[in-house]
Amino acid sequence: MTMTKPIATTRSASGIPTGRLAIWWVLASEVVIFGGLIAAYLMHRLGHPEWADAAAHTNTWIGAFNTVVLLTSSFTAVMAHQAAERGDGKKAARLLLLTVGGALTFLVVKGLEWRSEISHGYTITANGFWSFYYTAAGLHAAHVIAGAIIMLFVARDAAKNRELHRVELIGIYWHFVDVVWIFLFPLLYIAK
Amino acid sequence: MSEHKINYTKIYFTLLALLAVSVAGPFIGIQWVTLVTAFGIALVKANLVIQNFMHIRVEKSWIKWMLSFSILMILLLFYGVAPDVMRHEGQNWTNVAAQAAVERGIPDGEHEEEAAHAEAEPALAVEESDFAAAGTYVTYCAFCHGVGGRGDGVASSAFDPRPADFGAAAFWDARADDQVALAIREGGAAVGRSESMPPWGSVLDEAQAAAMVEYLKAFQTGG
Amino acid sequence: MKYIWSTDHKVISMQYLFTGMFMAVIGGFMAYVFRMQLAFPDIAVPGYGVVSPGEYNALVTNHGTIMIFWVAMPVLIASFGNFLIPLMIGADDMVFPRINRLSFQLFALSAVVILASLFVEGGGFGGAWTAYPPLSAEAEYNLTGLGASLWLVAVALEFVAFLLGGINFIVTLMNARAPGMKAYDIPIVVWMIVIASILFMLSVGPLIAGAIMLLFDQTLNTGFYDPARGGDPILWQHLFWFFGHPEVYVVLLPAIGITIEIVATFARKKLFGYKLMLYTAVSTAILSFFVWAHHQFVAGIDPRMANVFTVTTLLISVPIAELLFIIMATLYGGSIRLTTPMLWALAFIAEFLIGGVTGIFLGASGSDIFLHDTYFVLAHFHYTFFPIAIIGSFAAVTFWFPKMFGRMMNDTLGKVHFWGTVIPFNFIFIPLFVLGLGGQHRRIYNYKLFPELVDGQPLRVFATYAMLVMLAFQLVFFYNFFRSMRKGPKAPKNPWESNTLEWTTESPPPHGNWPVDEMPTVYRGAYEYGHPDREEDYWPQNLPS
């Protein structure tokens, strides 16, 4: 997969390195995707106060635990960036792996949470609230999975002290995934 | 790009502390406190992550503008769409199904089949047996004959003579039920009345038209 | 084989171009079939057979979807964006060549999926390109359950492909410019494609969310758009049109950009107002977010909202008109060379103008109450989309063919094709304006079943004959295109004597576009034509003096 980078990739007329510029544009597009979904959810939730019955059944403690997991993984991601800045690729890779570990923990906990909810009859078709709950959290989880996979590739390169700038880039994406959850948590778990 | 001495550890523990507050908020039991702690803290936490972990505070400023514009567009979407979707009635329109759902509460998955039919019923004081007629009336008749059946619908002022007033005893005294059913199915001209009353035979069969006539009678008692 | 896995932006642009041309043939064939059905109802269409009502719905749905997403966008934005952007800014490739290749692969997959959707059980999706639920959500209503889901998946894949491609274009423009190329030296078409990419990116997000919800309604039996279960079909309409309206500007802006490049070159005159055009284009893009509900005036939205959207919709005609005026002002006093690309550019202005002014009647909610869902709407959007997607594409192809393929197209055949396309085009759609005003509603497979509309049948037949003539003339283009590619006279570097950087390299450009030590430096803007002090009437951007 190695190829020589075109001259174009190395130029930086805007003053921002190309990779980082691209990640910010990716985030802009993700903001409107999640924003659209959350806006649609909000409209329905505010217009249907009777959904509170359903919303009462989300487990705030599990949600809070998962929030701690994601916040911690964001912390390890930014520490990985710090290590990469200092040129310590091996440390950056270790911290990225910790971040991926956080992602896996999040997913396992979510899987158990969903299994429990489904066994109680709270399926995606049970009610409008649950439809949005699984869709929003599911879309978020898909982004967690994608981010974790990419992070593994970046960690592999970083351990060999190659492409260290990508540690920061995958970190920025990861923080965004964290920020989305920071909003999903109160929406789905606290605002009952 | 240097990180300008941000203490990530301190930020991390601040985030955890804020999380604890937002989880504790609901226990106080006052709704506005819950909302402020939940969403206000979410905003603060997000801001901390964005500024410090994502280094927005040392990034070129137009990145902030670009992201703010995205968020602005979402706000535009929300405020442009919510009047139709979040609210359930407005100028000359009512979302009957949604209002009914709110009043009754959404049932469990296994009951949704029959409950869906029940929820098509608007919040009018009519009998259970007339539920199909109520929804049909609102869809096809109320525009001219009015939500209350008094001939005072939104379009009524355009007609001369006015649409029939089903709440008036005089209307029912002057004609037989099957004449009314015939007018419904074949139009006003078929019973020697205004041709502004269209034929609805493609919507209602004879049994349904008869049921509709029964439904219309209830308007006499302010139904 | 090396062409399939290539990451060279020029190869990828060819891949998009040929895919787009192929899909145009498919979309055009669909139009042929359904227009024959309308003109001669329930008689077997030659080359197809008898058109059932369900098939008619599938044909019009997929014609619209394919023409917008698999012809207009790939040709105008993906193909010409990929080809022109690195060349015009003096770069050797896009900044992310492998993501570029991935974008095309996703796009190709989406094309396969949409074509596959036509052949599954039940046939292609028949719920109109706008896919309103509950028709689009319930297989028992649309009778094309599998086709509907495949259609949705294809569109979603296409969106992802264009999101990725768009990011590549934006970052390449922002970062990879040649030394000396300041913001105002960038050719307008490059700006337009990048602005269009940003506009696409920001407007498509909510629809992607909405499409996921629709897919779940279709496949998992959720009730996102089912009012009986707390959902709202109007939400889909809003999400769709929040994207759908900016989308038309996503395709319009590149077409205007292409027109500008051609007009400046063949009028031998400086662009009338570069900064004005740039800022007007940006304002149009921003304003386009505020007009979407004019598609929903009679859908049951709150009438007070309709008032607001009428005002904003009428307002947006101002910057668009201004863009056309700038083009006309550029022409005025120029030394006009009526080559084939120039004819196409001029036709774009004339035909789009008609499309634009007829939009005024639709943007005002009062008149829209009558005109909504009639053929007036259809004629309006064909008078806008056809100039954008077809005239714009032919303009671009005939203009940049020498650079892309290293040979010249035959100009006489080009002119024959031009007149054989543009004249019949008007004879197809002016009758449709008349029919629409007369009350003919859309999406009906046989108007002879409506006593009050039977009288319009001669006009329908006339329009169909005009379409047959127009389709026949496309053979001239295909012959010219493929023959010139192999046997046309070799093209010099700069056959049109144009200023922009792509004309400073070989035709076709080599891999890397310029030798590594001869990458261009830019000294001036892109529109220095007819400069009084110079002997030549053009002044390439890369010449030191």
* Selection from C217, C126, C114 nearest residue C157 by Cα: C114
Determine the residue of chain C that is closest to B77 in CA distance.
C242
Give mean pLDDT in consecutive 10-residue pieces for chain C, a chain of 545 residues: 87 97 98 97 94 95 98 97 97 96 97 97 94 94 94 97 97 95 96 97 96 96 88 95 97 98 96 95 97 94 92 96 96 95 98 96 94 97 97 98 97 97 98 95 93 93 98 97 96 96 96 94 94 91 92
Give the model's pLDDT for residue C82: 97
Q: Residue A37: which of C171, C174, C209 has the nearest Cβ?
A: C209
Instruction: Please say whether the beta carbons of C382 and C352 come within 8 A.
Output: no
Instruction: Please say whether the beta carbons of C154 and C67 come within 8 A.
Output: no
Determine the residue of chain A that is closest to B67 in CA distance.
A28
Q: Does an H or E element contain B124, and which?
A: none
Residue B126 pLDDT greater than 50, yes or no = no
Which among B106, B108, B112 is the top mutation candidate for probing chain A, defined by the most A β-carbons within 10 Å of its own β-carbon?
B106
Query: Any residues with CB less than 8 A from the CB of A119 and at least 6 apart, and which?
Result: none
Instruction: Please say whether the beta carbons of C73 and C389 come within 8 A.
Output: no
Q: Residue C302: which of B83, B97, B106 has the nearest Cβ?
A: B83
Q: Is C49 exposed, middle or buried (0-12, 13-18, 19+ CB in 10 A)?
A: exposed
Give the model's pLDDT for residue B162: 87
Q: Contacts of residue B70 in chain C, CB cutoff 8 Å?
A: 202
Please compute Rg for chain B using Cα positions.
29
Give the closest-approach CA distance of B11 to chain C in angstroms.
31
Q: Does an H or E element contain C499, and which?
A: none
Determine the residue of chain A that is closest to C229 in CA distance.
A128
Query: Is C230 in Cβ contact with B85 (below 8 Å)?
Result: no
Q: How many CB atoms lie within 10 A of CB C449?
A: 11
Q: Which residue pairs, CB below 8 angstroms and at least 24 apart, start in B106-113? A: B106/A48, B106/A50, B106/A51, B106/A54, B106/A127, B106/A128, B106/C229, B106/C230, B108/A121, B108/A126, B108/A127, B109/A121, B109/A123, B109/A125, B109/A126, B109/A127, B112/C223, B112/C228, B112/C229
Query: Is B98 in Cβ contact with A47 (below 8 Å)?
Result: yes
Which among A1, A12, A37, A51 is the top mutation candidate for probing chain C, defined by the most C β-carbons within 10 Å of its own β-carbon?
A37
Distances A73 to A100, A171, B51, B64, B193 between C-alpha atoms, Å: 8, 10, 17, 24, 76
Mean pLDDT of B131-148: 78
Q: Which residues of chain A have pLDDT under 50?
A: 1-2
Determine the residue of chain A that is closest to C6 in CA distance.
A3
Give the closest-approach CA distance of C144 to chain B in angstroms.
23
Determine the residue of chain C that is closest to B106 in CA distance.
C229
Tokens for A103?
Answer: 């992602």
What is the DSSP-derived secondary structure letter of residue C509? P
Residue type, C286: I
Which among C283, C302, C369, C449 is the top mutation candidate for probing chain B, defined by the most B β-carbons within 10 Å of its own β-carbon?
C302
**φ, ψ of residue C226 in degrees (nearest 5):** -105, 110
As a whole number of angstroms, the distance between CA C204 and CA C156 comes to: 10
Query: Is C228 in Cβ contact with B91 (below 8 Å)?
Result: no
Give the model's pLDDT for residue C41: 94
Q: Contacts of residue A32 in chain B, CB cutoff 8 Å?
A: 70, 73-74
Q: What is the mean pLDDT of chain B?
A: 80
Query: Is B81 in Cβ contact with A190 (below 8 Å)?
Result: no
Q: What's the count of helices (H) and strands (E) in chain B, helices before strands?
A: 11, 2
Q: Residue B119: which of C203, C228, C235 has the nearest Cβ?
A: C228
Give the model's pLDDT for residue B109: 38
SS3 C63: helix
Give the model's pLDDT for residue B105: 67
Give the closest-approach CA distance of C373 to chain B in angstroms.
20
Q: Residue C209: which of A7, A36, A127 has the nearest Cβ?
A: A36
Task: Please report, to the nearest 10 degrees, the dihedral formed by the alpha carbons of residues C8, C14, C15, C21 taken in order.
Answer: 170
By mean pLDDT, which of B66-80, B112-126, C103-117, C357-371 is the weakest? B112-126
Query: Is B74 in Cβ contact with C206 (below 8 Å)?
Result: yes
Query: Any residues with CB less than 8 A from the CB of C389 and at least 6 apart, and which?
Result: C67, C68, C71, C72, C75, C76, C251, C255
Name the pairing type of β-strands B89-90 and B93-94. Answer: antiparallel
Residue B3 pLDDT greater than 70, yes or no = no
Determine the residue of chain A that is closest to B78 in CA distance.
A39
Residue B122 pLDDT greater than 50, yes or no = no
